[in-house]
């Protein structure tokens, strides 16, 4: 199978999942700009359509997020673009940057440490996960390593690496499986440990609109992604043993910028 022309379900799901993680990551990494909104509209519509086309299980949070986003994007043409961007920046600041009545932290440590603080031990675990695939948080991004946007970015990166490995044919299959297992481990060990609570906090705190929509989507998506990973693992495992690569999986393969 040629790279870039892979129509297997693993490849397609990989694409779908990577795009979903990238979308969610950008939703929370910083305030939106015009370009981001344009891409977010296109990508979210595409992904949610694909969700139905792929007949993925319906999920009340995904549905709620979809409805909120449809409303949000349908109102865009009537809105002054600059004003909208400023309004979203105000919402981002009020929700996440400590200037609103209630701050929702975007970082895992806050949800998982005894005293609800930033930069606690889970951050070191997350760093270790990044390190294992030859990555580190960019110094340009001034938020902690266990910020939701970075963690989602890690998952997107692994999706990409999985696709690349899988598209390399038999030789890359073991490596693809390894990448999927890392995703499963990170999902279970990190994202599922705090994102449901974080999303719920955000759903309750954010006004109806962009951030509440993405809180629902994040919560719904994280809830289902484990099954998507399992199905990809299963498909790779179902490939006749004789066709599988026996090559040992290396976890320190050279990584490219993401």
Partner 1 sequence: MARLTRRTFMKMAGLSAAALTMSDRLLMSRAAAQAGAADKEEVGYQICDACNGVPCCGIKFYKTGDIITRMEPWPGFPTATLCSKAYATMQRIYHPQRLKYPMKRTNPKGSPDPGFVRISWDEAYDITVGHMKRIGEKYGPHSVFFYVGDPKEPRAAVQRLAATYGSVNYGDESSVACRKGALTAEVLAFGYGTTGSPPNKDTKSLLVWGTNPPYSGPANDWQNLLDAKERGVKFIVVDPRNTPTATILADIHLQPRLNTTAALAAGMMHVIFKEGLHDEAFCSKWINGIDELKEYVKAFTPEKTEAITWVPAKKIVDAARLYAGNAPGGLKTSPQGTTHDLNAGNNHRAILMIPAICGYMDVPGGVEEPTNPLEGFGGGWANGPPAFCFRKKMDQMRPHRLDNKDFPAFAELNLDVQVNRIVEYIKEGKVKAFLGWGFNTMIWPQTHEYQKAIESLEFSMAVDFFFRPWTHNYVDLVLPGAVNFERIAPFAVHGRRLFGRTPVKPLGECREDWQIACEIGVKLGHPDIFFNGSAEGACNEILKLWNTSYDDLRKNQEKGVTVPPKRPNTYRKYEVGMTRPDGKPGFNTPSGKIEAVSLILKKHGLTALPEYKEGLKISKEYPLMLLSGGRVPYITHSKWRDDAPWLLELQPQPLLDIHPDDAAKRGIKKGDDLILKSEWGQVRVKAKPSVLVRPGIVGLMHGWAKANVNELVPRQFDPVTGYPPYKEVPVQVIKA
Within 175-234, which residues bind partner 1 (CB under 8 A)? 227-228, 230-231
Which range of residues in 47-55, 59-67, 188-196, 203-211 is near partner 1 by CB under 8 A? 47-55
Instruction: Check residue 86 for interaction with partner 1 (CB under 8 A).
Output: yes
Query: Is the distance from CB of 215 to CB of 199 less than 8 angstroms?
Result: yes
Taking the alpha carbons of 188, 189, 194, 195 in that order, is the dihedral positive or negative? Answer: negative
Instruction: Check residue 30 for interaction with partner 1 (CB under 8 A).
Output: yes
Residue 26 CB, shortest distance to partner 1, in Å, is 4
Instruction: Check residue 239 for interaction with partner 1 (CB under 8 A).
Output: no
**Paired tokens of 218:** 């994040």
Instruction: Check residue 90 for interaction with partner 1 (CB under 8 A).
Output: yes
Instruction: Check residue 12 for interaction with partner 1 (CB under 8 A).
Output: yes
Question: Which of 2, 139, 240, 242 touches partner 1 by CB under 8 A?
Answer: 139
Question: Which of 62, 68, 95, 150 touches partner 1 by CB under 8 A?
Answer: 150
Phi first, then psi, for residue 147 (nearest 5°) are -65, 145
Residue 127 CB, shortest distance to partner 1, in Å, is 7
Instruction: Check residue 47 for interaction with partner 1 (CB under 8 A).
Output: yes
Residues whose CB is less than 8 angstroms from the CB of residue 22 and which lie 6 or more positions away in sequence, other chains included? 43, 152, 153, 156
Query: Is the distance from CB of 159 to CB of 183 less than 8 angstroms?
Result: yes
Residue 128 CB, shortest distance to partner 1, in Å, is 7
Of the two residues 129 and 175, which places its CB atom closer to partner 1 in the complex?
Answer: 129
Of the two residues 12 and 245, which places its CB atom closer to partner 1 in the complex?
Answer: 12
Count other Cβ atoms within 10 Å, centred on residue 235: 16
The site that binds partner 1 (CB under 8 A) totals a number of residues, namely: 81
Nearest to 148 by CA among 158, 140, 139, 156: 156
Residues whose CB is less than 8 angstroms from the CB of residue 207 and which lie 6 or more positions away in sequence, other chains included? 91
Instruction: Check residue 131 for interaction with partner 1 (CB under 8 A).
Output: yes
Residues whose CB is less than 8 angstroms from the CB of residue 160 and which lie 6 or more positions away in sequence, other chains included? 14, 18, 258
Question: Which of 80, 135, 190, 216 touches partner 1 by CB under 8 A?
Answer: 135
């Amino acid at each position: 199978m040629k790279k870039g022309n892979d129509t297997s379900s693993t490849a397609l799901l990989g694409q779908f999942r990577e795009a979903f993680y990238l979308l969610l990551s950008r939703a929370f990494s910083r305030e939106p700009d015009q370009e981001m909104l344009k891409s977010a509209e296109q990508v979210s519509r595409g992904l949610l359509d694909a969700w139905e086309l792929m007949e993925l299980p319906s999920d009340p949070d995904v549905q709620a997020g979809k409805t909120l986003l449809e409303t949000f994007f349908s109102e865009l043409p009537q809105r002054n673009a600059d004003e909208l961007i400023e309004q979203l920046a105000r919402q981002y600041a009020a929700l996440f940057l400590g200037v609103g009545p209630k701050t929702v932290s975007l970082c895992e440590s806050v949800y998982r440490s005894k005293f609800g603080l930033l930069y606690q031990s889970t951050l070191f675990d997350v760093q270790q996960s990044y390190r294992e695939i030859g990555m580190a948080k960019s110094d340009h991004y001034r938020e902690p390593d266990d910020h939701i946007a970075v963690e989602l970015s890690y998952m997107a990166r692994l999706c990409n690496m999985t696709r690349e490995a899988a598209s390399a044919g038999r030789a890359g299959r073991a490596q693809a499986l390894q990448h999927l297992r890392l995703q499963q481990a990170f999902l279970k060990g990190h994202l599922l440990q705090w994102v449901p609570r974080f999303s719920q906090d955000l759903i309750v705190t954010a006004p109806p609109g962009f951030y509440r929509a993405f809180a629902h989507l994040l919560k719904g998506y994280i809830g289902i992604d484990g099954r998507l990973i399992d199905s990809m693992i299963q498909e790779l495992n179902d490939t006749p043993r004789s066709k599988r690569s026996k090559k040992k999986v290396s976890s320190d393969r050279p990584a490219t910028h993401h």
